[in-house]
Amino acid sequence: MDRRWGISVPLPELSLPEQRELIAELPDLGYTDVWSSEANGADAFTPLALTATWAPQLRLGTAIVPVYTRGPATLAMSAATLAAAAPGRFALGVGTSSNVIVERWNGIPFDEPYKRVRDTVRFLRRALSGEKVTESYDTFEVKGFTAGLVADPVPPVLVAALRPGMLKLAGREADGAIINWLSPDDVRTVVPYVREGGPDKEVVARIFVMPDTDPDTARALARRHIAAYMNVPVYRAFHEWLGRDELTPMWQAWDAGDRKAALAAIPDSVVDDLVVHGPAEYCRERVQQYVDNGVTTPAMALVAPGDPTEAVRALGLK
């Protein structure tokens, strides 16, 4: 596989139309991929559709689309449409998302997440290839769906995974995994579970990056992101499994309702493990450590405030 170097879109602090020129510049800066996400901002598909027009050299990926918030057929149609618009350049990443996004924001029960992802991947494999699907899965039922649009080639499907069960599922039934909120050393722990399904499975990592930001500012911003994520049950369980005991005081303060104390309890060592910050050259070297430890596709997510133009240029490989 050629060396991949990705960034997350949409870029922060710019409206979608304002991003056109910078995104068009990405290939010349050495970027190969753009990966979108979906929480409470832009949906996962629209920024990629725009990118397909603005920079047709780039590979596109979702990291991720929740398996709960679209019906199975609608998810397949969205993926097929983008794959047809960018033949051979789109990868569909799906995952559970979290109880916050699924239940609190969308009013959908967050039931049996492992089975829901497994069933969705099995459905997508058949639907995206044009097969007529009539199947009673454990978590949903499909009666007689046939995709009216079948992309050539059929896009790969990746699974967002944190702990062993989902990591193994990603390697066994999908084309690879999307990992998130971990250090380069943690990559050594999670990737072997994916590669049980085959040595060539793709591993995409969303990596939070703040280049050329002074340490105090970077750590203050990073603490807020860490507190917001690590108290979501799925991420807390992930880091408990990884053995990140340094977060226990933060979890205890959060459980007690003391948000200020929870932020203060996050040590610099954890911040520096999970969020890449410092001079741009150091940031590139740090991201390369993820690759050296088993990531095939780094997808950097800028989290510093302000115009992202200089950060995007500084993190490029050219």
Domains of the chain with CATH codes: 6-211+279-315 (3.20.20.30), 213-276 (no CATH)
* Cis previous bond, 233, omega within 30: no
pLDDT at 318: 87
H-run or E-run covering 253: helix 248-255
pLDDT above 70 covers what percent of the chain? 100
Q: Which residues of the chain have pLDDT under 50?
A: none
pLDDT given at position 139: 98
Q: What is the predicted pLDDT for the residue at 162?
A: 97
- 10, 42 Cβ separation under 8 angstroms: yes
Please report the pLDDT score of residue 305 as a whole number: 85
Q: Whole-angstrom Cα distance, residue 202 to residue 55?
A: 23
pLDDT the model gives residue 304: 87
Which segments within the chain are labelled E, that is strand?
6-9, 33-36, 59-62, 65-66, 90-95, 133-136, 141-145, 157-160, 176-180, 202-211, 275-278, 297-302
What local confidence, expressed as pLDDT, does residue 2 receive? Answer: 80
